[in-house]
Amino acid sequence: MACRSETDPGRTVLICAFLVLALTAFFGCDDEEPAHAEAPAAAAPSAFFKVIEDTLSSGQSLYTSLIGGGIDAARAVEVLDVLGETVNLRSCKPGDSYSAEVSDDGDIVTLCYRRGLRELYHVSRDSSGYTVAADTIPVTVITRRVEGVLETSLWEACREAGEDPRIALKLSDVLGWEIDFVTDPRRGDIFTMIYEELYCEGRKIGLGDVIGAVYVNEGDEHIAIGFAEPDGTMEFYDCEGNSVRRVFLKSPLNYRRISSYFSNRRFHPILKTYRPHHGVDYAAPTGTPVVAIGDGRVAHAGWNGGMGNYVEIRHNNIYNSCYGHLSRYGRGVRGGVRVKQGQVIGYVGSTGLSTGPHLDFRVKKYGSYVNPLTIDYPRGEPVGEECKEAFFARRDLVLKGLKSRELAAAESPDG
């Protein structure tokens, strides 16, 4: 019995040691199982993609930029074919940019193309292929008021007032039917205008609509109130709701000076004889754009003897306008096509019997030539009866803003 007493503890120790090793081995395998299970996930392809970004330079297309970034040509074409169904990729311009996510095997997973300052196009891939979603970056509109006095020109007056001088073009567009801003302005003329500036992501991107304007030319006050028509177009009216827009523009181009006026007896510098000159000659550099003074259909576009390259537009049963000595014609201008007011129909030249670059501009009324500078062209349509109440409410707000320095009254005329 004593011998058994001595051996039992040793056997017990061995058994315990064996059990500890067995349990350790068992639970150790159990602890390693999750690590073994996670191994395939660690070996799976990365969920992160290579990002390619670029801004297009002059002469560069979206395709050539993608190829230059290492994208396979076939895969680039696959994405661009889909994108091209939504946006004209031939109109890509320097400054357009994109960001593309590319997988490890070279596929384009997403492409975000920014066209200009506001347009965004998102191309993404799913199980059925690529899809395109268009988006627009919001624009912030800020209302500004400017006033000034002419010393030399409207452009310079706007610059001296500390404003974007391009608003001079806005003002001339609005009141261009009432005032010829090349010949009519005089030193001391006064102008005031309320207009919109457009900002995108804190950056000024351009000018918006003119809200209202007043121009005093030699004591005569010309007022234009901007009013959005039911179809969304912006029209301009005087304080009584009459359109300030005329059926025809006062001038077909921006010119340096009038070199010859309408006359029944003018000495011709080439023919050396007196003969009628039933038009107005506008001296301007070769290539100066010439625009149609009104909507109409081209009655003639071609050579016309002493008038050289010549365009004649039939506007209605009363008026035709004529443009002579052109260096070339506007795109698509030919006999029978319709043109819109302000559309470029040609460019100043010196073709035909001409001593230098100028435009010979003529107007026919019922088939007879009339002096373009003295015609009282008919106005456009007045404010519709159904819109008069809304127009007069807007007019009062805009006039208050024009006559005071407080923009609050005119900041939200529709509010």
pLDDT for residue 337 is more than 60: yes
Structure confidence at residue 249 as a pLDDT band (50, 70, 90):
confident
Structure confidence at residue 91 as a pLDDT band (50, 70, 90):
confident
Under 8 Å between Cβ of 30 and 44 = no
pLDDT for residue 182 is more than 80: no
Do the domains 257-370 and 50-136 match in fold? no
| Cα 415 to Cα 128: distance, rounded to the nearest angstrom | 46
pTM of this structure: 0.58
Q: What is the percent of the chain where pLDDT is above 70? A: 81
Task: Lowest mean pLDDT of 9-18, 254-263, 374-383, name the range.
Answer: 9-18
Task: Lowest mean pLDDT of 30-34, 127-131, 257-261, name the range.
Answer: 30-34
What local confidence, expressed as pLDDT, does residue 415 receive? 38
Sequence spans of domains, the chain: 50-136, 140-245+383-411, 257-370
Average pLDDT value for residue range 239-243: 93
pLDDT for residue 241 is more than 90: yes
pLDDT for residue 296 is more than 90: yes
What local confidence, expressed as pLDDT, does residue 274 receive? 56
Show the CA angle centred on residue 210, arms to residues 208 and 212, nearest 5°: 155
Residue 270: count other Cβ atoms within 10 Å of its Cβ: 10
Partners of 313 in beta bridges: 298, 321
Residue 389: count other Cβ atoms within 10 Å of its Cβ: 10
| Cα 231 to Cα 316: distance, rounded to the nearest angstrom | 25
Reading the block at residue 65, the tokens are: 């930029």
What local confidence, expressed as pLDDT, does residue 255 receive? 63
Under 8 Å between Cβ of 187 and 201 = no
Residue type, 72: D
pLDDT for residue 343 is more than 80: yes
Task: Please enumerate, as own/partner, the contacts of 253-256 that have beta carbons within 8 Å and a separation of 24 or more.
Answer: 253/282, 253/284, 253/288, 253/289, 253/290, 253/291, 253/348, 253/359, 254/182, 254/284, 254/288, 255/182, 255/282, 255/283, 255/284, 255/288, 255/359, 256/282, 256/283, 256/284, 256/285
What local confidence, expressed as pLDDT, does residue 110 receive? 92
pLDDT for residue 29 is more than 50: no
Among 3.20.20.450, 1.10.287.110, 3.10.450.350, 3.40.50.620, name the CATH number for the domain at 140-245+383-411.
Answer: 3.10.450.350
What local confidence, expressed as pLDDT, does residue 263 receive? 56
Pick the more confident residue, 405 or 285: 285
Average pLDDT value for residue range 211-237: 90
Q: Domain 257-370 in CATH: superfamily?
A: Glucose Permease (Domain IIA) (2.70.70.10)
| 239 Cβ contact partners less than 8 Å away, ≥ 6 residues apart | 223, 225, 395, 399
Structure confidence at residue 79 as a pLDDT band (50, 70, 90):
very high
Q: Per residue in 152-174, pLDDT tens?
A: 888 888 888 888 888 888 888 88
| 320 Cβ contact partners less than 8 Å away, ≥ 6 residues apart | 299, 312, 313, 314, 363, 364, 367
| Cα 100 to Cα 150: distance, rounded to the nearest angstrom | 52
Structure confidence at residue 240 as a pLDDT band (50, 70, 90):
very high
What local confidence, expressed as pLDDT, does residue 247 receive? 81
Q: Per residue in 99-154, pLDDT tens?
A: 999 888 888 989 999 988 888 999 998 888 899 999 988 889 999 999 999 988 88
Pick the more confident residue, 230 or 110: 110
The dotted CATH code for 50-136 is 3.10.450.350
Under 8 Å between Cβ of 249 and 291 = yes
Average pLDDT value for residue range 365-381: 86
Average pLDDT value for residue range 181-200: 88
What local confidence, expressed as pLDDT, does residue 267 receive? 53
| 243 Cβ contact partners less than 8 Å away, ≥ 6 residues apart | 235, 236, 237, 379, 380, 381, 382
pLDDT for residue 392 is more than 90: yes
| Cα 388 to Cα 348: distance, rounded to the nearest angstrom | 42
What local confidence, expressed as pLDDT, does residue 292 receive? 95
Q: What is the percent of the chain where pLDDT is above 90? A: 41
Partners of 52 in beta bridges: 100
| Cα 17 to Cα 33: distance, rounded to the nearest angstrom | 24
Structure confidence at residue 239 as a pLDDT band (50, 70, 90):
very high
Structure confidence at residue 269 as a pLDDT band (50, 70, 90):
low
Task: Lowest mean pLDDT of 9-23, 64-78, 360-374, name the range.
Answer: 9-23
Q: Taking the alpha carbons of 295, 299, 301, 307 in that order, is the dihedral positive or negative?
A: negative
Q: What is the rounded end-to-end Cα distance, in angstroms, of the chain?
A: 111
Structure confidence at residue 275 as a pLDDT band (50, 70, 90):
low
Under 8 Å between Cβ of 250 and 181 = no
pLDDT for residue 410 is more than 90: no
| Cα 375 to Cα 367: distance, rounded to the nearest angstrom | 15
